[in-house]
Structure 1
Amino acid sequence: MSPDRSQTAYAESAAGLASRALDALQGIGGTAMVAQHVERAEDPKAALAAIRVVGADLFAPCLLGGAALHPQDAAAVAQSFAVFPPALSPPPPPPEGAAEPWLVAWRDWATAALLARCADPAEPAGPGGADEGLLAPRPSGAPVLADIAQATAAGAGADLADAGSGTRPDATGPGTDWRQWSVRMGQLSTLALPGLAGPVHDAARAAPLALARGATRAVLRRDFPTAARIVRWLALLKAESVPVPLDPAPLVEHLRLHGGGPRLALDVAIAGRLLATETS
């Protein structure tokens, strides 16, 4: 198989698995959706890779829909770690290390932590849980906002003038500005699920305005996948009763109307379910 064909097969398999997860979250379809995805795949290796791409969101039906994790699904997720083992030692966070391996390591940890939690609901995930027994080690660090005081005090509208310009501003200081930071948080959106905790979640709670600005900017740029990923963090914060500077519910509905494929639809559905769990 050519590299291009391999990448296409992986992308198609990930989209198909995201669609199965969305159906399961909505109470559609049967049980063991992950195992069936692998068993029925023309390319089982691509199907196992898809498990790692969709990642922790495969447990959304368990966490947000009340569905029990099927033992065959747990076995399929574990098999994906056996076929595509993560690094024994997690890579350092940027700027010491490259961003992409670090992002993958965080997403793998979230998948492994929620596999343990959903397979054994009595087992906490994250700090205080049995991380040493997980299939992927927990990385260190979180996306760093260059000037959190400015990001949490400034108005959201003043810095949106570049919304249609396509510019990518440079970092200012030891971290990145709110534009790049919010995109990076969006790349870690599979961590925006209940039952996980760590420095990435702490970073989200510390800068809700930066997340709101990032989501608004993405919508204005019509970058709906990025907007949906960032909105998931806002929805999680609101579900935790953390004050947020805008109501994410209208954004969720706006994104739902735009469609955009199963991955976007799953992000939007998860955000909607998080809002439905909001505590008073």
Structure 2
Amino acid sequence: MTGDRSRTSYQASAAGLARRTLGALLGAGSTAMVAEHVERAADPGAALAAVRIIGADAFAPALLAGAALHARDAEAVRVALTALPASDHTPPAPPAGPEAAWLMAWRDWGTVTLLTVLTGRDTDGVTAARPTAPTAGGDGADWASWSVRMGQLCTLALPGLDGPVHEAARGAPLGLARGATRATLRRDYPTAARIVRWLAWLRAEGVALPLDPAPLVEHIAQMAAGDRTALDTAIARRLLAGPSAYEPSDRTGT
């Protein structure tokens, strides 16, 4: 029962932070939304966990809307990664190792990497080793499960990040297109939104795609519900607008 309450508290807090992040991405709300989410939380522990769950997407307003990363937000992310430290070892990619640990390790890597990029300095001892590369399979028989796993790594589909997961996306746009289409037809809009982010990222990278992701993004945005999915579709829209529509900030705000 306690575990169930904890999970519910974490999920609710993560939804609240996703809502704040979406507001900042759209130019509304506070410019120190991560810090205020933690400072105003009734359950600070759940709020810090939410920062780790949202991960690199907390930087989306700075990366995609030209906003400066507020110094208080940078500090809040550091505190979250210190209170709930990233793994100090590199878990193997599934099926060789547990999927949950591998996914979290990649998300933590993205968060720490962008924190360093956006602040222009080290992260005061906060580190995250880059995990092992994902297994291939996007264009093979297992494209369905592979695309879902890639969707679970959609917080890496942001400017300023590049690595083996991104190479996997570049190497299998057809698998991602199939996965996004399949999830949409099944009305699994959260999964569809996560996968279509990779298609939007690939379009921003200039990669040829087997379908135009823009109508799919709009359909998902109209049909889906939930703060997390709304954030995913808003990020996809920004990515589809192209690099000329956003400039990653090299400043930390005050």
- TM-score (structure 2 length as normaliser): 0.92
Offset of 1:144 from its aligned partner? Answer: 2.1
Once the two structures are superposed, the pairs formed by residues 127-206 of structure 1 within 5 Å of their partners are 135-145=127-137, 148=139, 151=140, 177-206=142-171
Q: Give, as a single letter, the amino acid of the residue that structure 2 aligns with 1:41.
A: A
Q: Distance in 2 between matches of 1:259 and 1:86?
A: 31
Unmatched segments (≥5 aa) in structure 1: 124-129, 152-171
Q: CA deviation at 1:2?
A: 2.0
**Is the 1:56–1:114 contact (alpha carbons within 8 Å) kept by the matching residues of 2?**
yes
Matches within 5 A, 1:75-114: 75-114=75-114
Q: After TM superposition, where is structure 1 displaced by more than 2 Å over at least 4 residues in a row?
A: none
Q: Which residue of 2 aligns with 1:161?
A: none
Deviation at 1:134, TM superposition (A): 5.5
Partner of 1:34: 34
Whether contact under 8 Å (1:25, 1:65) holds in the other structure is: yes
SS of aligned partner of 2:91: coil
Contact kept in structure 2, 1:143 and 1:200, CA below 8 Å: no
By how many angstroms is 1:97 displaced? Answer: 1.0
The answer to whether the 8 A contact 1:143-1:184 is kept is: no
For residues 185-204 of structure 1, the C-alpha deviation after alignment (integer angstroms, 9 at most, x for no partner) is 00111011111010100000
Secondary structure of 2:69's match? coil
CA shift, 1:135, in A, is 2.0
Structure 1 distance, partners of 2:180, 2:137, is 16
Aligned residue for 1:8, secondary structure, equals helix
Kindly indicate whether residue 229 of structure 2 is the aligned counterpart of residue 229 of structure 1: no
Q: 1:220 is matched with which residue: 169, 182, 185?
A: 185
Matching residue's letter, 1:10:
Y
Question: CA contact under 8 A between 1:32 and 1:72: conserved in structure 2?
Answer: yes
Residue 68 of structure 1 aligns to which amino acid in structure 2?
A
Output one character per residue of 1:15-51: Cα deviation in whole Å (capped at 9) or x when no partner: 0000000000000012110000000000001000000
Q: Identify unmatched segments of 5+ residues in structure 2.
A: 245-254
The CA deviation at 1:212 is 0.3
CA RMSD of aligned residues (A): 1.8
Is the 8 Å Cα contact of residues 113 and 134 (structure 1) preserved in structure 2? no
The AA in structure 2 aligned to 1:225 is P
1:143 Cα deviation from its structure 2 partner: 3.7
SS of the equivalent of 1:29 reads coil
Aligned to 1:210: 175
Equivalent pairs, count? 244
What CA distance in whole angstroms lies between the structure 2 residues aligned with 1:255 and 1:190? 18
Match of 2:217 in 1: 252
Identity %: 61
2:81–2:126 contact (8 Å) kept in structure 1: no
Counterpart of 2:61 in structure 1 is 61
Select the structure with the greater relative contact order (CA < 8 A; seq sep ≥ 6). 2
